Amino acid sequence: MGLIECEERRPMTEMLRVVSERISLSGLSRFLSKWPWSTANVAQTWQQRFRRRMEPLVHTEHQRLRAKRSKNRGRPKATVVTGY
């Protein structure tokens, strides 16, 4: 199952181009109109899954950067990990 969210108005035929399953236009229309989609809930679910997958990677990278920095006097600077 996949979910498509378009910021702008798009015809249903353009949505069919990005769906990997071969379905009819009427089938896609019935599927999208049958359930009320909450974009807030979908975004929250996606963000939770993304954080769950990225957390170990970010933690590992922080550890690598901490081990790599030089041992100077004073408070060490915080490590920064940026990912997209």
The pLDDT profile of the chain, 84 residues, written as one tens digit per residue, is 455 566 666 676 776 676 667 777 787 777 777 777 787 888 898 899 999 999 999 899 989 988 888 777 777 777 777 765
| 28 neighbors 16 (Cβ within 8 angstroms) | yes
Predicted pLDDT at 1: 45
| Model confidence pTM above 0.95 | no
C-alpha–C-alpha distance, residues 66 and 81, integer Å: 11
Q: How far is CA 57 from CA 35, 49, 77, 83, in A?
A: 35, 13, 20, 10
- Please give the pLDDT value at position 9: 67
Residues 6 or more apart whose Cβ sits within 8 Å of residue 18: 4
Predicted pLDDT of residue 48? 93
In angstroms, the CA 61 to CA 80 distance is 9
pLDDT of residue 74: 77
